[in-house]
Amino acid sequence: MSRQNHSIDYVELPMVDAAETKRFYHQAFGLDFTDWGPHYVSFAGARVDGGFNGESDATVTGPGVLVVLYAENLTESLEQVIEAGGSIVRPTYEFPGGKRFHFRDPSGN
């Protein structure tokens, strides 16, 4: 696959607890992870690669970066987020292009 100029190549989010972050994103979305030491975890399987950086003790505050994850079944994805321990911060709503919801992961993203 060739890379497109100015396309999203990698997404990095802050993380508070590596084990909880991996558990949540694996349970909710089926992502796989690679540990790069105690404070950095990369993920794959989300159509764009990324990672979680826990090098700082700073608390995640919002709103911050909005990363949009495609879902074939939005209702099912919302239920998976809740079951994995995420919290819904904006219920499903319509926007130009479809519907979406906003959630907070266990690190506060």
Confirm whether 47 is domain-assigned: yes
- Per-residue pLDDT tens for 41-80? 999 888 888 888 887 765 666 666 677 788 889 999 999 9
Q: What stretch of H or E contains 34?
A: strand 32-35
Asked whether the predicted pLDDT for residue 15 surpasses 80, the reply is yes
- CA–CA separation, 15 and 36 (whole Å): 14
Confirm whether 66 is domain-assigned: yes
Confirm whether 15 is domain-assigned: yes
Asked whether the predicted pLDDT for residue 9 surpasses 90, the reply is no
Confirm whether 3 is domain-assigned: no
Asked whether the predicted pLDDT for residue 19 surpasses 60, the reply is yes
Confirm whether 41 is domain-assigned: yes
- CA–CA separation, 107 and 24 (whole Å): 10
Name the β-bridge partners of 41: 35, 52
| CATH number, domain containing residue 79 | 3.10.180.10
Count: domains in the chain: 1
Radius of gyration for the chain, computed over Cα atoms and rounded to the nearest angstrom:
14
Close Cβ partners of 89 (under 8 Å, ≥ 6 residues apart): 62, 102, 103, 104
Residue 35: give the domain boundaries: 10-104
Taking the CB of residue 38, how many other CB atoms lie within 10 A of it?
9
Mean of the per-residue pLDDT values for the chain?
A: 84
Asked whether the predicted pLDDT for residue 6 surpasses 60, the reply is no
The pTM of this model reads 0.71
Q: Which residue has the higher pLDDT, 64 or 22?
A: 22
